[in-house]
Amino acid sequence: MSVNSTRRVILGAALAGATFLGSFLPAAAQETIKVGILHSLSGTMAISETTLKDVMLMLIEEQNKKGGLLGKKLEAVVVDPASNWPLFAEKARELIAKDKVSAVFGCWTSVSRKSVLPVFKELNSILFYPVQYEGEESERNVFYTGAAPNQQAIPAVDYLAKEEKVQRWVLAGTDYVYPRTTNKILEAYLKSKGVASEDIMINYTPFGHSDWQTIVSDIKKFGSAGKKTAVVSTINGDANVPFYKELGNQGIKATDIPVVAFSVGEEELAGIDTKPLLGHLAAWNYFQSIKTPENDAFIKQWQAFTKNPKRVTNDPMEAHVIGFAMWVKAVEKAKSTDPDKVIEALPGIEAPNLTGGISKMLPNHHITKPVFIGEIKPDGQFDVVWKTQGLVPGDAWSKELDGSKDLIGDWVEKKCGNFNVKTGKCGGA
């Protein structure tokens, strides 16, 4: 072999070795922990969900500034399920199986959560769900950082009955699982308090409903019977805008028939005419207007991140703040992103909320939260008119329903989401 040939062999071997090593070194250096973001960025729910995508990007960026997690950078993987419930399941599968995310933060409607549940169970991944919901669920693979009915719906009805002396009730909702189940719970609760059937009116409308004239007219007529009447609203998404507008068109003021909403927050009020809404109410576990050092810092950080001093904050955003902080702590505690280890580590984890308290993840995968009733102001913010004394633990199962009152969720001791305390059996049997 010539000297030149020998040189070529040696050089080739050196280059091959460098390429071989290079294929490992950069990969190790670039390896990230992927976080899935599963929120509608188009369709009827985009009005509410786009902000949740944005706040997750902010939280991930902030964690990376702190050095990431387990020595690795976090990488957001964003998908758009487009307010299409079957597409949520498809996109969830893509995030878990293809993108290999360590956890998913997402969903708004309960129908979207129900759609993805089988995927998270089958592929054994973790979903953090940040929105108030109807309860009646405690799944091993889901952590519920939004309110259960006992942390929003029940306190709101109690407030209206006691403070507003309400005797007649309109339960108005969008036609899907969350409003139907919540209203079933509220109807049973109201009847247990002595409210007659004829003093409860229940109405459902499809997503994106826009023609409210007849329904609002019916509400007005129902409220003219000489008894103080209120609307308990589980109307979701962009249908809220024409609903409140029609209330104003028909001259229904908050002093006549107050509306307490469970899905209308600062984001939904931003950029719309608030005149028809003044004095109406919302029940949440967070309001932007609450003054605490934690909240002031969060609002400042959010508006700097979005480069928009007018961007508002809201309750489901805070739920993601709490859920993300809990996930980070659980991963650090488990020293791993392995779903089984993180699921085991999460119960008992605490994280500060933005209103001055410390929220805790419970064995039923729900958290402790304060409850606030806020009155809508001209600037689209809320004036807090009532709050609980402390934090309320989230109940997975409602005491108001016969099939649920004996059930608890306990993934620590019982390893069961629907343990029947009377029979001592898992599965509600």
The average pLDDT across 411-421 equals 97
CA atoms within 13 A on the CB side of 411: 24
413 pLDDT band, cuts 50/70/90, is very high
pLDDT above 50 (res 276): yes
Report pLDDT for 28.
42
Query: Measured between alpha carbons, how far is 347 from 74 in angstroms, rounded to an integer?
Result: 23
Q: 347-384 pLDDT, tens per residue?
A: 999 999 999 999 999 999 999 999 999 999 999 999 99
- Following DSSP, what letter does each residue of 69-97 receive, concatenated? BTTBEEEEEEE--TT-HHHHHHHHHIIII
Element (H, E) at 229: strand 229-234
pLDDT above 50 (res 23): no
Report pLDDT for 237.
85
Which residues have CB under 8 Å from 34's CB, separation 6+? 74, 75, 76, 77, 99, 100, 101, 102
Amino acid at 360: K
pLDDT higher for 28 or 317?
317
pLDDT above 90 (res 272): no
Q: 58-101 pLDDT, tens per residue?
A: 999 999 999 999 999 999 999 999 999 999 999 999 999 999 99
Domains and CATH numbers, the chain: 29-147+293-370 (3.40.50.2300), 150-291+373-387 (3.40.50.2300)
428 pLDDT band, cuts 50/70/90, is low
pLDDT above 60 (res 30): no
Query: Measured between alpha carbons, how far is 56 from 37 in angstroms, rounded to an integer?
Result: 7
273 pLDDT band, cuts 50/70/90, is confident
Interior/surface letters 28-38, b for 16+ CB within 10 angstroms, e for the rest? eeeeebbbbbb
pLDDT above 60 (res 182): yes
Tokens of 256: 């006549």
pLDDT above 90 (res 11): no
Tokens of 343: 């699921």
Query: Measured between alpha carbons, how far is 262 from 327 in angstroms, rounded to an integer?
Result: 26
Query: Measured between alpha carbons, how far is 398 from 153 in angstroms, rounded to an integer?
Result: 11
Q: What is the mean pLDDT of the chain?
A: 92
Query: Measured between alpha carbons, how far is 261 from 284 in angstroms, rounded to an integer?
Result: 9
19 pLDDT band, cuts 50/70/90, is very low
Tokens of 265: 């927050």
Tokens of 232: 């308990």
Q: Which of 5-19, 272-286, 383-397 has the lowest mean pLDDT?
A: 5-19
pLDDT above 70 (res 5): no
Report pLDDT for 16.
44
Strands (E) across 42-150 are located at 73-79, 103-106, 127-129, 142-144
Residue bearing tokens 């898992």: 426
Share of the chain above pLDDT 90, in %: 87
Which 3 state secondary structure label does DSSP give 130? coil
Cα four-point dihedral sign 320, 322, 325, 328: negative
Q: 149-179 pLDDT, tens per residue?
A: 999 999 999 999 999 999 999 999 999 999 9
275 pLDDT band, cuts 50/70/90, is confident
Q: Are 378 and 384 in contact (CB under 8 A)?
A: no
Report pLDDT for 12.
46
pLDDT above 50 (res 24): no
Q: 204-222 pLDDT, tens per residue?
A: 999 999 999 999 999 999 9
Which 3 state secondary structure label does DSSP give 4? helix
The average pLDDT across 300-319 equals 97
